[in-house]
Amino acid sequence: MEKVIVSQLRSAEWYEGSDRNAYIHRAWMRRGLPDDALDSTKPQIAIANTASDLTPCNMHLNEVADSVKQGVWAAGGVPYNLPVVSLGETQVKPTAMLWRNMAAMAMEEMFRANPIDGIVLLGGCDKTIPALLMAAASVNLPAIVVPGGPMLTGHFRGEALGCGTDVWRLSEEVRAGTITNDQFQQSEQSTIRSKGHCNTMGTASTMAVVAEALGMSIPGFAGTPAPDARLLKMSHQTGGLIVEMVEQGRRPSDIMTKAAFLNAIVAVAAVGGSTNSVVHLLAIAGRLGVDLTLDDFDSAGAGVPVLANLQPSGAFLMDDLHRAGGVLALLSRIEDLLNPEPITVTGVPLVDYLGDQPVYDDTVILPRAAPLMDDAGIAVLRGNLAPQGAIIKPAAATKKLLQHVGPAVVFDSIEDMRARIDDPDLAVTADSVLVLRGCGPRGYPGMPEVGNMPLPRKLLEAGVRDMVRISDARMSGTAYGTVILHVAPEAAAGGPLGLVRTGDIITLDVENRSLNMDVSAEELRARSQSPASEAAYAQPVRGWERLYVDHVMQADTGADLDFLVGSSGDKVSRESH
């Protein structure tokens, strides 16, 4: 790629000149900086840092930021720590997804408002990388992702624990009576072994893979464990690279093209990645004006084998993937499925890094001829129950349930489900289809990770471990089961999910991509006169929740706010003093 050197740095609009405003901008920033730090030849680099003690997966990012700073200084730039909104997936209520768009909006405004020429995006926990990429896409300044990395594997009684996945599994075993609650509580001390995010192929790991497949991080970075010294080495390298990106004018819009998004979809399928990647990729694409649709996930992911034998779909964990050769080694086995044109932050196409990437353990990164599943990308379902689409992750489902017919058992809210799911008088069998509504973007609000509903206790005690479940919610990337998610339109937006009644026959046919209820159009019209309508859902009266409910779009377009779609660029038209 031909190098184009940028002649005028954006930060010069703040610092160059002899007038009062330039004086103020420079004087307040001196504070021990070298004399030439604010010269017009020195790229000013923000390190967008989501470190927070209340985002446990990101607690170590201040240390990572120090390595980035050293790399920026060494390359001739000037680094600045810029704390930004941080969302701890396991901590914030009612759901971190409620604030993904708020975090992205706040980040965008700070990136635009400050005298910076490039941005290093430090993320890890589920919503932090998506929010950072959404903001960077909107401002379109040179930007690069540093993924915080997964934690090391913890063990309990000699067995590896996948954080998240084994929480779901063990909690169901407690309810089934196969282990005691004391045993469950003892495992808590072993689950989180080190700094870093979830060690399964959950949403955090998936979004690191997405960033790399989009071209937005140094190739080979995704999946490097948080405690690994090589993470700090690559963070230092990233600090040097962002200075080069500024000098050459390489921006997110040059990297995250439609073809790059399709490559990311292929990568998600090959690693058995989280369903949450769908709403995040759609939202990021929307910020860039890239025409990415729900159908692209089905078509681009079709025929892609799952080669990562990782929980929740497989057996191993993220530090096993790194030991076996890492994400690049895995992608090298499906290179023919990737578009060769999209470039990375280095200016070099991603596929150029796949030529010499040996796999060191075929039980972790499976051979193309013996995949975990032959065709297991995200499947998009449509029908009279989901006219704008719903999704399922076949790799995490029970194969025999991918074609299923059964009667609905309907819950109108997460509270309703929790109150009745273990009622011994609940009319439910293993063939029933559990339906949960009121948990979409507007209805909750915020689209929580509750789609993987717990199974009724009486069925667990009888040995049942999976059922078809349908909702307008999301589920954790660490979760598993035959779970249909992101039903659009959601019930709170007038979708037909709000018209389902207990006893209605639901037909799921993943092979034919259909999801229907056996209810006539005439009956549905009659029910629509008195549905579980928008009025049934609590309407927030103030603050961010009010803004969110009024403007959030549906899951099939990424659940962004309608007025945030499209890029606004980096220009600031007025002086501050």
Helix 128-139 × helix 276-288 angle, to 10°: 10
- Which residues is 197 bridged to in the sheet? 150
Query: Is 0.85 surpassed by the pTM of this model?
Result: yes
β-strand 514-517 against 505-509: which pairing, if any?
Answer: antiparallel
- Reading phi first (left if > 0) and then psi (alpha if -120 to 50, else beta), residue 495 is in beta
What is the residue whose two structure tokens read 């903001």? 135
pLDDT block averages, 10 residues each, the chain of length 577: 64 94 94 93 97 97 98 98 97 96 98 98 98 98 98 89 84 87 87 94 97 98 98 98 98 98 98 96 98 96 94 94 98 98 98 96 98 89 98 92 98 96 97 97 95 95 96 90 97 95 98 97 90 62 93 98 92 84
CATH 3.50.30.80 segments of the chain: 379-557
CATH of domain 379-557: 3.50.30.80
Quick one: pLDDT at residue 222? 98
pLDDT value, residue 538:
67
Q: What is the pLDDT of residue 1?
A: 45
Q: Which residues are CB-contacts of 352 (< 8 A; sequence separation ≥ 6)?
A: none
What pLDDT, on a 0 to 100 scale, did the predictor assign at position 6?
A: 54
The pLDDT of residue 323 is 97
**Residue of 252, 243, 171, 161 whose CA lies nearest to 200:** 161
